Amino acid sequence: MPLLQIREALRAAIDEEMGRDDRVFVMGEEVGYYDGAYKVTEGLLKKYGEKRVVDTPIAEAGFAGVGVGAAMAGLRPIIEFMTFNFSAVAFDQILNNAAKLRHLSNGQFTLPIVFRGPNAAAHMLSSTHSQAFESFYCGFPGVKVISVATPYDAKGLLKSAIRDDNPVIFFESEVMYSVKGEVPDEEYLIPIGKADIKRPGDDVTVITWGQGVAVALAAAQLCEADGLQCEVIDLRTLRPLDDEAVLTSVRKTNRAVLVYHGWPYGGTGAEISDRIQRLAFDHLDAPVERVCYEDVNMPYAENLENLVIPSPERAAEAIKRIAYVRV
């Protein structure tokens, strides 16, 4: 199987879907002539032209809203946020239009739209450029939320997202675009809403997504030295959550740790923790732990950023703590 970078896998997904359906188009800042700020859309302008690869001025609320309107009118927009940090100025369009117009119109409209782009911290971009937005968007009834960590998942899930008839928020990561992995030549789709066990194990369930996946796998590795076998579950879809996958694992291991990029108060992490304590209460031998950002605005300084972002060591510590391994 060919080895692709995540950016190439995403591009292949967009390219295939654009080839398959004339109504699919890409819109965002620098997606066209610049080939994408992070080169995800490289070559697409050349192939599909200005009509279907649309550069925008800096106006996220504007072009997010244009995407919503275009979706109502039968197109299938892929809206790129250069990073999800800039979606903060389009928050209302996602909350009050994308997520609500089907409901408000009592089903008169269908909104097949994908909002995608990199999310969460990269490296030394300071606080305004290092935020994880799933905690906000996962809360919205009316949308689906996806976060990918491998080229294979990126391609299969982005294709599904583009074909989905609902608004989908699709999270990538600047620091992961170059991550390579096998991607089959033949076409495939990955169903939205299904988690993936990235590493099987019997002792502790480690639940993760996005940038957290690599951290969790590294932590699992570290824990092996202590004889702990972690089951690492990559959620992939954050809304709707794959409760079954999580609960099946927790019922087996009786312990769960969440590892992810994002602030600690509330959000996706807290939701999963709450579901586990509620739906697997009698199976838990230890509290659910979360390893995520510290509760601060992300500092620019590298040494501080490294402390704020979850590390394999910090994750391993939490895993061992709830496995009651002396640390």
Partner 1 sequence: MSPPSAETSPAPVAGRDPDELRRLYTQMLRIRRFEEAAARAYTQGKISGFLHLYIGQEAIAVSTAELMKPGDRVVTTYRDHGFAVALGCDTGACMAELYGKKTGLVGGNGGSMHFFAKDHGLWGGYAIVGGHVPVAAGHAFASKYLGDGAVTLCFLGEGAMHIGATHEGMHLAGLWRLPIVFVIENNQYAMGTPLRRQTAVDDLTVRAPSYRLTSDRWVVRDVFETRARLAKAIDRARNDEQPGLVELLTYRFRGHSMSDPGKYRTKDEVEQWKERDPLFRAEAELRGQHGMSEEDLEAIDETVWGEMDDAVRFAEQSPHPEPEHRFLGHLVEDDLAAAAGHEPVQEGN
Dist CA 314 CA 132 (whole Å): 19
Q: How far is the CB of 142 from partner 1 (least distance, A)?
A: 5
Residue 147 makes contact with a second copy by CB under 8 A: no
Please give the Cα distance from 195 to 238 (Å, whole number). Answer: 9
For the chain, the distance separating the N- and C-terminal CA atoms, rounded to the nearest angstrom, is: 41
- Contact in structure between 26 and 53 (CB atoms under 8 Å): yes
Stretch near ligand TPP under the rule CB under 6 A, chosen from 81-89, 106-114, 193-201, 319-327:
81-89
Is there a catalytic annotation at residue 60?
yes
Binding flag, residue 281, partner 1 (CB under 8 A)? no
Catalytic residue among 16, 42, 129, 283: 129
Buried b (16+ CB within 10 A) or exposed e, 164-200: bebbbbbbbbbebbebebebeeeeeebebbebbebbe
Site for ligand TPP in 50-69 (CB under 6 A): 58, 60
Active site residue 8: no
Site for partner 1 in 129-148 (CB under 8 A): 129, 141-142, 144
In the set 8, 60, 174, 231, the catalytic residue is 60
Phi-psi region of 46 (alpha: psi -120 to 50; beta: other; left: phi over 0): alpha
- Tell me the two tokens of residue 141: 């009834």
What does 63 interact with, of ligand TPP, a second copy, partner 1, none (CB < 5 to 8 A by kind)?
partner 1
277 touches, from partner 1, ligand TPP, a second copy, none (C-beta below 5 to 8 Å by class)? a second copy
Binding mask 83-122 for a second copy (x = CB under 8 A): --x--xx-xx--xx--xx--xx------------------
Q: Does 110 bind partner 1 (CB under 8 A)?
A: yes
Active-site positions? 60, 129
Binding interface with ligand TPP (CB under 6 A):
29, 58, 60, 82, 86, 89
